[in-house]
Amino acid sequence: MSCCNKLAEKLKMKTDTLDKICVFLAELLGTAMLVFLGCMGCVSTDVFHNNHLQMCLNFGLVVMVVIQCFGCVSGSHLNPTVTIAAYVYEMISAPMAIVYFCGQMLGGFIGYGLLKVVLPDSVINTPSTGLCVTLPHPEITAGQGCIIEFIITAILILVCCGVWDPRNAKFHDSVPIRFGLAIACLAITAGPFTGASMNPARSFGPALWHNNFTMHWVYWVGPMSAAVIAAFGYKIVFRREVKEEAVHHKLRNLEDVPLS
């Protein structure tokens, strides 16, 4: 019996390790797709025409596509703020949060690197900041930008918590569409002021490739603090466990069985 228990433990360990590898790869590929396709949709030059609405809708649609691809594997966090919120919400452990974070950061770096391979230098190396490098608008101070990122990220996390709420467990079929539209809405609203990152991994990749970390702290402090506060607040104030419905049997014993 002890040999069987040891074998079962080893198999369980191998399964756990495989699951962690799958989650890491799903977050890496998903975040790479997010940065690659999302930032490609932000190209706007005299040759490649684009507008703000198109950029925002593109990012929302990309999120929808990625969630549809990898949502069943890792939940498609694609964003350290979502991972932090999931940890606060007690959906993942601290070691798994680290796995998610590593996959997201590496994915953002790889996704933008692929973009540099396939697009012309004139598109990538724009005169001001570089393609998709997030910076507050010149009329916006760093503090104001941080507050804006905090608010829109908090709203995004509230959307996540609403989806994770046990009372919403039966309504997950449209999750990719809901998240895509939520991202598009927040980007349309706040994009002109801060770039509406809401995602440190999405901001870190372009900033690292361009070595441009001007006011980069805004895109860490605002979103990460929003994730902790919003997730904790929703968990304490709004979350409710679903009560199991009692099963009522019409026939409780053999005496209730009708005679044929």
Q: Examine the pLDDT at 20 and tell me if it is beyond 60.
A: yes
**Band of pLDDT at residue 254, cut at 50, 70 and 90:** very low
Please count the other Cβ atoms lying within 10 Å of the Cβ belonging to residue 120: 12
What is the tens place of the pLDDT at every residue in 33-46? 999 999 999 888 77
What is the tens place of the pLDDT at every residue in 228-238? 999 999 999 99
Is-contact 135 195, C-beta < 8 A?
Answer: yes
Second-level CATH architecture of 16-240: Up-down Bundle (1.20)
Return the pLDDT at 252. 46
Q: Examine the pLDDT at 244 and tell me if it is beyond 80.
A: no
**Band of pLDDT at residue 129, cut at 50, 70 and 90:** confident
pLDDT greater at residue 166 or residue 33: 33
Going 113 to 118 to 121 to 127, the CA torsion angle's sign is: negative
What is the tens place of the pLDDT at every residue in 172-213? 788 999 999 999 999 999 999 999 999 999 999 999 999 999
Going 38 to 39 to 42 to 44, the CA torsion angle's sign is: negative
Return the pLDDT at 50. 86
Amino acid symbol at 255: E
Is-contact 200 146, C-beta < 8 A?
Answer: no
Q: Taking the model in full, what pTM does it have?
A: 0.86
Q: How distant, in Å, are the alpha carbons of 67, 182, 192, 213 from that of 22?
A: 15, 27, 36, 31
Give the pLDDT mean for 235-242: 87
Q: What is the DSSP letter of 48?
A: S
Return the pLDDT at 45. 79
**Band of pLDDT at residue 5, cut at 50, 70 and 90:** low
Give the pLDDT mean for 144-151: 97
Q: How distant, in Å, are the alpha carbons of 17, 71, 112, 155 from that of 108?
A: 23, 18, 6, 22
What is the tens place of the pLDDT at every residue in 76-128? 999 999 999 999 999 999 999 999 999 999 999 999 999 999 999 888 887 77
* Angle at the Cα of 148 from the Cα atoms of 94 and 141, rounded to 5 degrees: 120
Return the pLDDT at 156. 97
What is the tens place of the pLDDT at every residue in 47-86? 788 899 999 999 999 999 999 999 999 999 999 999 999 9
Q: Examine the pLDDT at 18 and tell me if it is beyond 60.
A: yes
